[in-house]
Each structure stands twice: as structure tokens, then as C-alpha cells.
Structure 1
Amino acid sequence: MYRIGEIAKLMNISKRTIDYYTLMGLLNPIRTDANYRLYGEESIQILALIEHYKNLKMPLEEIKSSIELIKSENGIDKQKAEKHFEQIAMIMKHLKEEIKVIEPILQKLSNQQKEMLVNKLSSQGVSLAQTLLLLFR
């Protein structure tokens, strides 16, 4: 379990941002007897997911809906699930178009530059795979 300052430092975000996410209901810390908020591993996963969605330029309200859908313990609302997957499909289509646009540029890069980009994309690919695993749990 992490106090707000610890999780902020660990995730490289401000305490104020964590406060805001908590206020929005995205994070659900437990309170100690001394009224400290403690955040667990689920909070770390949610913060990573939020950052991932923000990098995809998804609005915070849509991020909240997606996370609520993932965290839902009740039956999943079919319309919400369909909307979420439509959003993912739209993002994937956009990425495919972006790849087509940058392909000629990539062909002009040196092998060292290409390797650097592959390494960078590999870490992001792992993040995407983790997100998809969260979605299909």
C-alpha cells in the first residue's frame, strides 16, 4: 500500500492529479485511522491505464467510462461495451493511417534510428498488451 506522495512519485504524476482522479471516483483508496489515504496495486494499474488512454488523446470522461466498465462487477451493459470497442476500433484505424503516412519517412532512417524506434514502440506495445489483458479479464 502506498500513501499519496509515494504513489505520485512512483507513477511520476502530481499529488494534485491523484486527488483529482480520486475525487472523480477513478481511484478508491482506503483510509487509515489517521485519515491517510492508502493506494494499492489496483490503483497503480488504473493510473497506468489512465496514462495510456491520455496518450491516445482520449478525453477523461471517456477514460472514466472505460475504467468503470473494466471494474464493473455486475453484468456489463452491452451498449457501453459496444461503444468502448467502437472507440478502440477507431483508435486502431487512426494508428493504421498514421503508419501509412510515416512509412516513407521510416524508410529513410538509418538502422540505428530504426532500432531506437523499435525499442521505444516495444515498451508501448507491452503497455497496450497489458491494457488489452485488463479489458478481457
Structure 2
Amino acid sequence: MYRIGELAAVMNISKRTIDYYTQIGLLNPVRANSNYRLYGEESVQVLKLVEHYKNLNMPLEEIKSFIELMKADCGIDKEKVEKHVDQIANIMQHLKEEIKIIEPFLQKLNEHEKEMVVNKLSPQGVTLAQTLLLLLN
């Protein structure tokens, strides 16, 4: 269990950010007898997800909605799943547009430089494609 300052240091974010995430319900600390808020490993995982989705420019309210969907024990909310799939589709469309923009630059690379780019992107791309296919089949 982490106190707020410890969690902030571990995750390299401010205590104020953790306070805000706690206020909006993203983080759910427990209170110690001394009235300190204690954050467990679940909070670390939530903060990693928040960072990941913020890097994808997903709004915080959508991140919160997705995290709530992941935590839900009472079954699957089809509407929320469809909304999240739509978000993934939007991210994929954005990536497709980014590829179109960078394509002329990639064509100017020599073979060695192209190979380096492919090696950097291929494992993630293949893994993502396989995961999506498994989920949709």
C-alpha cells in the first residue's frame, strides 16, 4: 500500500493529480486508522491505464468510463463495449492518417533505415492485429 506521496513518486506524477483522480472516482483509496489515504496495486494499474490512454489523446471522462467498464462485476454493458470499440476504431483511423502523412518520408529512406523502422513497428502491429482478430472471431 502506498501513501499519496509514495504513489506520486512511484508513478512520477503530482500529488495534486492523484487528489484529482481520487475526487473524480478514478482511484479508490482506503483510509488507514491514522486517516491517511492508502493506495494499492489496483491504483498503480489504473494510473498506468490513464497514462496510456492520455498518450492516445483520449479524454479523461472516456478513460474513466473504460476503467469502470473493466472493473464492472455485474456483466457486460453492450453499449459501453461498443463505445470503446468505436474509440479504438477512431484511434486506428488516426493512425492510418498518420501513416499517409509520413509515407512520403518513409519512401525516401534507404533499405537499412526502412528495415529499422519495420523492425521497430512490426512486433506491436502484428500483436495488435492478432489480438483484434482473436477478439472479433
Shift of residue 108, structure 1, vs aligned partner: 3.9
Matches within 5 A, 1:49-64: 49-64=49-64
CA distance in 1, matches of 2:99, 2:117: 17
Q: Which amino acid aligns with 2:53?
A: Y
1:83-111 Cα offsets, whole Å, 9 max, x none, are 11111111111112212211222344575
- Give yes or no for the alignment of 1:32 onto 2:50: no
Structure 2: give runs of 5+ residues left out of the alignment.
none
Using the aligned pairs only, state the percent identity: 67
Change (3 A) 1:116 1:100: closer
CA distance in 1, matches of 2:116, 2:3: 38
Change (3 A) 1:48 1:117: farther
The structure number with the bigger radius of gyration is 2
CA distance in 1, matches of 2:19, 2:118: 34
Task: Look up the match of 1:78.
Answer: 78
Q: Runs (4+) of structure 1 moved beyond 3 Å?
A: 106-112, 114-119
- SS of aligned partner of 2:38: strand
Task: Look up the match of 2:95.
Answer: 95
What TM-score, normalized by structure 1, do the two folds share?
0.78
Which gives a bigger RCO, structure 1 or 2 (Cα 8 Å, sep 6+)? 1
- Taking only aligned residues, the RMSD between alpha carbons, in angstroms, comes to 2.8
Q: Which amino acid aligns with 1:66?
A: F
What TM-score, normalized by structure 2, do the two folds share?
0.78
Count of residue pairs the alignment pairs up = 127
